[in-house]
Structure 1
Amino acid sequence: MSLFVEFHLIQNFAPSNLNRDDTGAPKDAMFGGYRRARVSSQCFKRAIRLAARDHDLVAEAFRGVRTKKLKSLLLERLAGRDAQQAEGKIETALAAAGLKLKDDGKTEYLLFLGNAEIDGFAALIEQHWDVLAGAPVEGEKKGKKEAKASAPPEVVKQAKALLDGGKAVDVALFGRMLADLPEVNQEAACQVAHAISTHRVEREFDYFTAVDDQGGPEETGAGMIGQIEFNSATLYRYAVVDAHKLLGNLQQDKDLALAALEAFTQGMVRAIPSGKQNTFAAHNLPSFVGVCLRHAGPLNLANAFEKPLHAKADQSLTEQSVQALARHECAYATVYADSRDQWSYLDLTGAWPADRGSRAARLEDLAAWVRQQVAARLEH
C-alpha cells in the first residue's frame, strides 16, 4: 500500500530577500502568466535541516553532514594519534572506499554523509592502523588507484560497506549522489517544491547610505551607498514524503522512520531561510499548515493559485490563500483522492473548513498526529 505524507503551508513573509539569484535579486518565476516570488526547494531543504539541528529534533547520531572537509572531521576523531601518520592512513582508507582527496586535503566534491558513516571510517582506521599505509615520503604523491591498491583487501571490503547512509535522517529524506560511487547513491524519500507566491509580485529596491562614524566636519556625504532588491510575499509551500521509501532508506528501522517524520513535520514548519536576515529579520512562521496522508499518489495544490490572488482591504492575502487552497483541494479530492486519505491542520486564519480534517492546537500535536497515523498505516 502506498502512503504519502503531504505538507501544505501558507506563509506570509515581510519584506525580505530570502533566496537570491546570481544578480542578488530575490528569485522569482512565471506562473499562470504572472511573475511570482519564489524560494527554491534547495533553499528550504537546507533550512529544514538547520531547523532540525537547531531545535534538536533529530539525535546527532542520526544526522548527516554535507562537506568537502571529511579529512578534517576524521582527524578530529583521531586526535589521539600522530597527525601526520593519520593523514596518510585517512587517504588510504578513503581511497579504499573509492573517495579521493585533492592537494588541499578536501574531497573532489561535496559529500553528504551520515555521522555514523564518518564514525565508521574513524573506527576502521583505528582497527587497521598498523596495516594502513601512513604518510607518503616527502615529494611522493599517490593517485587514488595507488592509494587504494596499498590497502589490504579486507579494508577495501569494509570501507565500501560503510557507505550505507548510516541511518542519517536527512540523507534518507533528501537523498544523495556520489559521482564516483553510484552504487551508494540514495534516492530521496522526500520531494520539496519551489515555494511560490499566491499573488503576483514586483521587485522593490532599498536604496541605502552608510555614514562614516569617524568622518570629520569637513567630510560631507555618505561613506557608502548601495541598493538591495527585496519583495514581500504570501507563499504556498509543498513537500511530500514517501513513508515506505523513508523506511527503506533507514534500513527498515520503523521507530527511527516515525521519529524522522515527526521531526520533519516540525522542521518543515520552523524552517526559515537565512538569506539577508540581518537586513530584514523576516522571521514569519506559517499561518496555515495542512498535513494530508494520501494513498493514490501525491497531489501538489499549487494550481489553486494559477490565477493570482489580489489584495483586499477587508481580507488578508493569507486568509484568501487558505480559502483558495481549500476550494481547490475539495474539487480535486472529489475526482482523484482515495477514501482513506486524511487531513489534520493548524490554522491561524480560521479560513480552512472545519469538516476538512482534525484541527491541531499546537505544532507538537500536529507532529504527534503524523507519527501516530503513519505508525498505524505502516503496520498493514
Structure 2
Amino acid sequence: MSGPPPIPPSVRRNTLLLAMVQAINGAGIQLVPTFGAIQVVTLLGSAVFAGLATSLMGLSRALTAYSIGQFSDLWGRKPTLYLGLWLTLMGALLIGGATLAGSLALFALGILVFGTGVGAVQQMRVAAADMYPPSRRGEGLSLVAMGSLLGAGLSPMLVTLAEWLGRRLGFSEIALAWLLVPLLVLPGFLMVRGIRPDPKRIAQHLEAYYRPEDLQTGPDPTPRGERQVQPRIAALSSAVAAQGQMVMMMAMTALALKALECSLAQISLSVALHVMGMFAFSWPIGRLADRIGRKPVMGGGLAVAALGALLVGLGQGYGAITAGTFLVGLGWSGAFLAANTALADVTPPAERGRATGVLEAWANLSGMILPILGGLVVETLGLPTLGYFGALLALLPLPLVYRLREVAPGVFQP
C-alpha cells in the first residue's frame, strides 16, 4: 500500500464522540486529586489519611476492572459506556452530598462508585481499538486519548463556576464542584448514543469498512494460541510499570520542587507540563507505533520515562526537575499507548474488554502501591535514590519487550 487506509466516515464520527467522552471523563477525574485530600482532612480533622480518596478510587477501579471488561465483551462497548457515565454521575452526587452532610462514610461510598464509573468509561480504549485495522490502530487509540487535553481545560472551568456560585449562594464551593459534574456527564449520554454502530460490531465486520488490502499488515496478521502469550505479557508489564512509575514520580515531584522553595505557581506549571507530556503528543506517538511498530515505541517510552525519573531525582534546579516530570509523562504516553495497541493486536474482539480489564486492574494496583513505596524511599534514602528507583521500575520490562518478534507493526511471531 502507498499509504495508510482512509478512515470511514462512521469510524471518524465515532472516534470524535469517544474523544469528547474522554474529555468529560478526564475533567471529572481531576476533581479527585484537586479536592480529595482537602475533603478527607476536613471530614476527619487530620491529615493522616489525606490520600484516602485517591487510594479508594484506585482500589475501586482495580477491583472492578475485569468484571467491567466481561460486561463489555458480553453486551458491547456502548452499554458499558452508559453504565460508566451513570456511575460517574451518581458517584459525583454522593461525594457532593457527603461534603454538605459531613459524612465520611457517604464520601467513601461516593468515591468507590465514582471510581468504578471512571474505570468503566475507560473501555473507550477498547472501542477505539475495535474500529481500526492494525495499520491505523495506534492512531485510533491516540485520537481518543487526545480528548484528555480538553478535559484538562474543562476541570478548571468547572471549579471556577463552582467558586462563583458558592460565593453567591453561601454553599461549599467543593460540594458545588461535585454537584455540577452532571452538567458535564449528561451530554455524554447523547454522545454515546451517537456512536453507531457499536464499535464491537465494527470489529467483528472490519471487512465491511476497509478494503481487504487495508486489513493486511504482513504475514499472519491475526496471531493465535501460543504466539499471543509473549506480546500480552510484554504489553501488560510495560503498561503496569509505566503507570505505577508515572504516578509515583508525579506524587514525589512536588516534594522535589518544594525542597527548592519553588512557588505554588511554579509547581502548578510543572504539573501542567507533565500532563502535556502525557497527552499532547498522543497522535504522533500513535502514528509512529503504526509506522515503525509497537515494540520500538513501547521500549522507547520506557527508556524516556527512566530518563525523566533520573532528572526528577538527581536534577539540580527547577528546569531540570520540570524537564524530568515532562519526560516521565511523555514516556508514559509512548509505553502505555503502544502496550494497549499491542494488546488489542493479539486479542480477538470478543475478549478485548477482559484483556483491557486485566491491564487496568494491575495498572491501578501499581498506581496505588508505588507512590507509597516512593514516599518510603524518599523518607529513608532521599530523593536521589527515588530517581534511581523510578528509572529501574521503567526499565524492568525492557527485556520482555526486546524479546518480542514484531515482523510488521502489530504482527508478532513466537
TM-score bracket, shorter-length normalisation: under 0.3
Give the TM-score normalised by structure 2: 0.26
Q: By percentage of residues, which structure has more strand?
A: 1
Q: By percentage of residues, which structure has more helix?
A: 2
Give the TM-score normalised by structure 1: 0.28
User: Which protein has greater RCO, CA pairs closer than 8 Å, 6+ apart?
Assistant: 1
